[in-house]
Amino acid sequence: MTRGRATREGIPTPIMAQYYAQRCDAGLIISEGVAISPQGYGWINSPGIWNDAQVEAWKPITKAVHDHGSTIVAQLWHMGRMLSPGVTNVPSVAPSAIQPPGVAHGPHGKSDYPTPEALTIPQIHQIVKDYGIAAKNAVKAGFDGIQLHAANGYLVDQFLRDSTNKRKDEYGGSPQKRLRFLKEVVEEMIAAIGAERVSVRFSPNGEIQGCVDSHPEEVFIPAAALLQKLNVAWLELREGSDDASFDMAGQTHQKKLSPEIRKVFHNPLVLNGDYDKESGEEALKLGKADAIAYGRLYINNPDLATRFKENLPIDTDIQPTSFYAAYQEDKTSGYTDYPFATKK
Ligand SMILES: Cc1cc2nc3c(=O)[nH]c(=O)nc-3n(C[C@H](O)[C@H](O)[C@H](O)COP(=O)(O)O)c2cc1C
């Protein structure tokens, strides 16, 4: 989960090692979004993994996680049209030149998102290569693997869905053509680090950041079948949330696709979105998923899995003001200062 504790240059900071190490009772940690290139970087104080300084700064973080007995994958992120102006001076790019809705939060305050430039074919080929390089960098930095961030209205999602992809070439039009970018990126990453280290995240139902599809089942079921064919290690689905207070929730007007996806994707399937202990256990018991990913509960409860196991109280008092700390003096507050319920 993006927490905005890296430097303005996207270099991870030591406090991040402490944060992740505290959360090592999770069997697997999926990192916050990690930018693959300056072109994909547009969230203030988020980390990147495109240069040596960033790779070096990740090493103590992955080591801290391993020393505490857990595993961690890097979530590889290109934001496409969602860059906040002023984080860098690089123009935003997307499959099509369509301005995103909503308000960007950059170093110079709130503003509209600019209309992105439509990507040329050579630029698309370069981005595919950038994903492969970032995957290699992640392994160099000590990550156990990567998760391709293909959810939440960012670049891969912008290619997949028909509200944001109006291209008339081989990367747009039919669902099959909208899958092409995903396919090339995943193949590139598999060639770079092996399928057993590559996973993917989708958010197939509902609208997120203006990204929506009129027939999501026509895109995401073939997408899941494709990932099975490529034999990726696992697939995570963030399904729409019913929590109206959560502005990144995505609307639930489209039905959940996980039951259909489960029929075509046979490697481990991970579900996310609004789960608590009981609903998570229920989903596992019913065979809807092989694992559940917890987001917000892991902010407040660094030892969430232990609390679940031992029936200890769960802190559900989520504080959105501490989610991202770009403008706060004290970066630890609401980050590394949540107490453990149990002595470690
Ligand atoms: C502060 C915050 C940061 C997030 N950052 C990311 C991110 O970097 N990548 C991502 O895929 N999802 C991100 N999300 C979405 C979460 O991964 C998750 O899908 C969402 O919180 C729903 O799960 P939950 O109900 O368990 O919290 C973020 C959510 C929050 C609240």
Which residue among 131, 154, 275, 338 is the active-site one?
A: 154
| pTM for this prediction | 0.97
Sign of the Cα torsion 295, 222, 83, 28 reads positive
Closest by Cα among 212, 124, 204 to 162: 212
Q: CB within 6 Å of ligand 1 — which residues?
A: 1-2, 32-33, 75, 149, 151-152, 201, 238, 241, 248, 272-275, 294-297, 323
> Does residue 46 belong to any structural domain of this protein?
yes
Q: Is residue 5 part of a domain?
A: no
- Which of 203, 241, 296, 321 gets mutated to test ligand 1 (max ligand atoms within 8 A of its CB)? 296
Distance 295 CA to ligand 1 centre (A): 5
Q: What is the CA angle 199-264-261, rounded to 5?
A: 70
**Among 101-105, 150-154, 247-251, 325-329, where is mean pLDDT lowest?**
247-251
Decide if 164 is inside a domain: yes
Please tell me the residue having the least CA distance from ligand 1 atom 23: 273
Q: Which of 37-46, 204-213, 274-283 has the lowest mean pLDDT?
A: 204-213
Which pLDDT band, with edges at 50, 70 and 90, does 235 fall under?
A: very high
Single-letter amino acid code for the residue at 181:
F
In a domain, 142, yes or no: yes
Domain assignment present for residue 8? The answer is no
Distance from C-alpha of 97 to C-alpha of 219, rounded to nearest angstrom: 21
| Pocket test residue of 157, 248, 252 for ligand 1, highest count of atoms within 8 A of CB | 248
Give how far Cα 311 sits from Cα of 25, 149, 296, 305, Å. 15, 32, 18, 10
CA 107 to CA 327: how far, in whole Å? 9
Helix (H, G, I), strand (E, B) or coil at 261: helix
Is there a catalytic annotation at residue 154?
Answer: yes
Q: Which atom of ligand 1 is nearest to the CA of 75?
A: 9
Confidence of residue 343 (pLDDT cuts 50, 70, 90): low
pLDDT, tens digit (0-9, with 9 covering 90-100), for 124-135: 999 999 999 999
330 or 284: which leads in pLDDT: 284
Q: Among the atoms of ligand 1, which is closest to the Cα of residue 293?
A: 26
Report the pLDDT value the prediction gives residue 131, as an integer from 0 to 100.
99
- 8 A C-beta contact, residue 64 and residue 45: no
Measured from the CA of 246, which atom of ligand 1 is nearest?
A: 31
* 181 is a domain residue: yes
| For the CA of 33, the nearest atom of ligand 1 | 8
Span from the CA of 121 to the centroid of ligand 1 (angstroms): 31
Neighbours of 53 (CB within 10 A): 13
Segment 176-188 shows an average pLDDT of 99
User: 13 alpha carbon to ligand 1 midpoint, in Å?
Assistant: 20
Which protein residue's CA is at the shortest distance from atom 16 of ligand 1? 295
- Do 210 and 175 contact (CB within 8 A), yes or no? no
Q: Which atom of ligand 1 is nearest to the CA of 201?
A: 11
Q: 155-188 burial, b for 16+ CB within 10 Å, e for fewer?
A: bbbbbbbbebbebeeebbeebebbbbbbbbbbbb
Q: Which atom of ligand 1 is nearest to the CA of 324?
A: 1
Kindly state the helix (H) or strand (E) to which residue 281 belongs, with its residue range: helix 277-285
Domain range enclosing 234: 14-322
* Count of all residues that appear for the chain in the document: 344
Task: Indicate which CATH number applies to the domain containing 102.
Answer: 3.20.20.70
Ligand 1 centroid – CA 120 distance (Å): 31
**Cβ neighbours around 129 below 10 Å, total:** 14
How many domains is the chain partitioned into structurally? 1
Over the stretch 197-226, which tens digit does the pLDDT of each residue have?
999 999 998 889 999 999 999 999 999 999
Q: Which of 2, 237, 294 to mutate to test the pocket of ligand 1 (most atoms within 8 A of CB)?
A: 2
Residue closest via CA to ligand 1's atom 21 equals: 295
Q: What percentage of the chain reaches a pLDDT higher than 70?
A: 95
- Flag whether 339 is in a domain: no
Query: How many angstroms is it from 32 CA to the middle of ligand 1?
Result: 8
Of 70-79, 147-156, 244-253, 321-330, the poorest mean pLDDT is in 244-253
Residue 23 lies in a domain: yes
- What pLDDT, on the 0 to 100 scale, is given for residue 249? 47
pLDDT interval class at 80 (50, 70, 90): very high
User: What distance in angstroms lies between residue 66's CA and the mean position of ligand 1's atoms?
Assistant: 23
Sorting pLDDT into bands at 50, 70 and 90, what band is 327? confident
How far apart CA 70 and CA 62 sit, in angstroms, is: 9
Instruction: Assess whether pLDDT exceeds 70 at residue 122.
Output: yes
Centre of ligand 1 to C-alpha 290, Å, is: 19
Q: What residue owns the CA closest to ligand 1's atom 22?
A: 273
